[in-house]
């Protein structure tokens, strides 16, 4: 009996000794998957063809579907207050909804293959119509219509800046041409004329879309031969190949130049004689070639020879 007791004691001692030297590891079993959810497939996923989207496919598949939009005409040039119309059509599968995003009279979204946007009277200077096609899963594509709204100048005027009355030969004067109520002003080209001779062409660097008044200036130094010559200017609105076949042109009135010989030329200095030759115009950019400069220079040259003889005789 004592031997049995010692054996039991020895067995218990061994068991407790093992528990203190080796940790107990507990294994937890993973819960079973619900029957409605399948485990990830070890096979790679096959992407849908861009031309073959199916109902219920992922958003990624919708975004990869083809979407082709066509607007006719793709570029429009419209006078302010005139009607305008553009047709947008779509091709491809996966984008059933077609619409226009525009500030004036946007039509309702349709599931047809085309949608017309039309306005009876254009009243927005900076309008940017955009045609779009959308999917019921969130994908979308869009195309913007290039549209320019213009207004020809209300009038064009010309004057000499800070000067009235006769001009004196060899002196510099500023000629100013003002274009009134034009849009867009960056498309205006202003040409200065003396008689039928084009002197210079100038353009604006203002990018404002609404109508503005813009002044263009150039300097001239007249000769006596320019006496009673008429100066004038014209403004042409260059609207590109999609604009009117004949660009709008507005001309100013004509002003006469009364050119007198400076009274100081009775006893001129050499510098004054030299200055009297400057029958020029100055502009930015440089003036056009002046076909009448040769005759004017000859007249001034003869005057210079005569004055030189007068000086030598004194």
How far apart, in Å, do the first and last CA atoms of the chain sit?
Answer: 166
- Residue 48's pLDDT is 25
Distance CA 94, CA 66 (A): 7
- Residue 86's pLDDT is 96
What pLDDT band is residue 227 in, cutting at 50, 70 and 90? confident
What pLDDT band is residue 281 in, cutting at 50, 70 and 90? low
Q: How many CB atoms lie within 10 A of CB 284?
A: 11
Reported as a single tens digit per residue, the pLDDT across 174-198 is 999 999 999 999 999 999 999 999 9
Reported as a single tens digit per residue, the pLDDT across 288-297 is 544 333 344 4
154 within 8 A of 243, measured Cβ to Cβ = no
Question: Helix %, strand %, coil % for the chain, to 5?
Answer: 20, 35, 45
Reported as a single tens digit per residue, the pLDDT across 150-175 is 999 999 999 999 888 788 888 899 99
- Residue 93's pLDDT is 74
Q: Residue 120: in which H helix or E strand, if any?
A: none
Asked if residue 52 has pLDDT above 80, the reply is no
pTM to 2 decimals?
A: 0.63
Please give the mean pLDDT across all residues of the chain: 73
What pLDDT band is residue 83 in, cutting at 50, 70 and 90? very high
Instruction: Give the residue among 257, 194, 193, 199 at the shortest CA–CA distance from 228.
Output: 257
What pLDDT band is residue 145 in, cutting at 50, 70 and 90? very high
Distance of CA 224 to the CA centre of its chain: 46
Instruction: Give the residue among 55, 78, 291 at the shortest CA–CA distance from 193.
Output: 291
Domains of the chain: 60-150 (2.60.40.10), 155-288 (2.60.40.10)
SS3 273: helix
Q: Which among 24-28, 37-41, 102-106, 262-266 has the top mean pLDDT?
A: 102-106
Q: Quick one: 29 exposed, middle or buried, by C-beta within 10 A (0-12, 13-18, 19+)?
A: exposed
When mean pLDDT is compared across 104-108, 218-222, 278-282, the lowest value belongs to 278-282
């Amino acid at each position: 009996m004592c031997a049995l007791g010692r054996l039991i004691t020895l067995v218990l001692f061994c068991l407790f000794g093992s528990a203190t030297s080796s940790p107990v590891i507990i294994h937890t079993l993973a819960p079973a998957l619900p029957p409605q959810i399948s485990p990830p497939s070890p096979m790679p996923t096959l992407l849908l063809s861009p031309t073959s989207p199916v109902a219920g496919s992922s958003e990624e598949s919708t975004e990869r579907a083809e979407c082709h939009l066509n607007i006719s005409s793709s570029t429009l040039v419209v006078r302010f207050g005139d009607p305008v119309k553009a047709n947008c059509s779509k091709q491809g599968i996966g984008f059933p909804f077609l619409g226009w995003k525009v500030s004036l009279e946007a039509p309702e979204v349709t599931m047809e293959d085309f949608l017309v946007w039309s306005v009876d009277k254009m009243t927005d200077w900076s309008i940017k119509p955009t045609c779009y096609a959308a999917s019921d899963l969130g994908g979308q594509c869009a195309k913007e219509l290039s549209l320019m709204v213009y207004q020809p100048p209300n009038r064009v005027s010309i004057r000499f800046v800070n000067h009235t009355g006769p001009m004196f030969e060899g002196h510099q004067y500023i000629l100013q041409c003002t274009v009134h109520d034009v849009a867009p002003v960056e498309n205006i080209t202003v040409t200065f004329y003396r008689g039928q001779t084009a002197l210079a062409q100038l353009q604006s660097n203002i990018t404002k879309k609404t109508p503005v008044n813009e002044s263009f200036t150039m300097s001239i130094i007249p000769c006596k031969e320019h006496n009673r010559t008429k100066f004038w200017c014209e403004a042409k609105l260059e609207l590109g190949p999609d604009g009117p076949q004949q660009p709008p042109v507005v001309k100013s009135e004509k002003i006469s130049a009364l050119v007198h010989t400076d009274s100081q030329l009775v006893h001129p200095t050499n510098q004054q004689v030299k200055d009297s030759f400057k029958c020029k115009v100055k502009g930015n950019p440089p003036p056009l070639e002046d076909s009448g400069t040769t005759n004017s220079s000859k007249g001034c040259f003869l005057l210079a020879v005569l004055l030189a003889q007068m000086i030598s005789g004194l």
